[in-house]
Structure 1
Amino acid sequence: MDFAKIYEDYNKDIYRFALSLCKNQDLAVDICHETFAKAMDKIDTFDGSQDIRAWLFIIARNTLYDFYRKHNKTNTGFDLNLVEDKKISFVENIADKDLALKVHTFLHSMNEPYKEVFNLRVFGELDFKSIGQIFAKTDNWARVTFYRAKNMIIDYLEEENEI
Structure 2
Amino acid sequence: MKEFDEIYDKYAWQVYLFLLRLCGNETTAEDILQDTFLKAIENSDKFGNRCEVTTWLCSIAKNEYLNYVKRRDNKNLPIEDREIPYDGDLIVQLEDKEKSIAVHKALHALSEPYREVFTLRVMGELSFRQIGDIFGKNENWARVTFFRAKAKLIEKLKEDSYEM
TM-score in terms of structure 1 length: 0.79
Matches within 5 A, 1:54-133: 54-69=55-70, 71=71, 73-74=73-74, 76=82, 78-84=85-91, 90-91=92-93, 94-133=94-133
Task: Measure the CA separation in 1 of the matches of 2:156 and 2:53.
Answer: 35
Task: Measure the CA separation in 2 of the matches of 1:80 and 1:103.
Answer: 11
Identity %: 40
Cα offset, 1:7, TM superposition:
1.7
- Equivalent in the alignment of 2:14: 13
Please state whether the residue corresponding to 2:43 is helix, strand or coil.
helix
The answer as to whether partners of 2:102 and 2:162 remain within 8 angstroms in 1 is: no
CA-based RMSD of the aligned residues comes to: 2.5
Moved more, 116-125 or 59-68: 59-68
- Equivalent in the alignment of 2:37: 36
Relative to 1, partners in 2 of residues 1:144 and 1:74: Cα closer, same or farther, differing over 3 Å? farther
Task: Structure 2: state its 5+ residue gaps.
Answer: 76-81
Cα offset, 1:137, TM superposition:
1.0
Residue 149 of structure 2 corresponds to residue 149 of structure 1 = yes
Amino acid at match of 1:123: M
Cα offset, 1:126, TM superposition:
1.1
Task: Structure 1: state its 5+ residue gaps.
Answer: 85-89
Task: Measure the CA separation in 2 of the matches of 1:81 and 1:149.
Answer: 20
Cα offset, 1:72, TM superposition:
6.2
- Equivalent in the alignment of 2:53: 52
> Any idea what the Cα deviations from partners look like across 1:108-144, whole Å, max 9, x if unmatched?
2221111111111112211111101101111111111
Task: Measure the CA separation in 1 of the matches of 2:66 and 2:163.
Answer: 34
The answer as to whether partners of 2:36 and 2:61 remain within 8 angstroms in 1 is: yes
Task: Measure the CA separation in 2 of the matches of 1:79 and 1:156.
Answer: 21
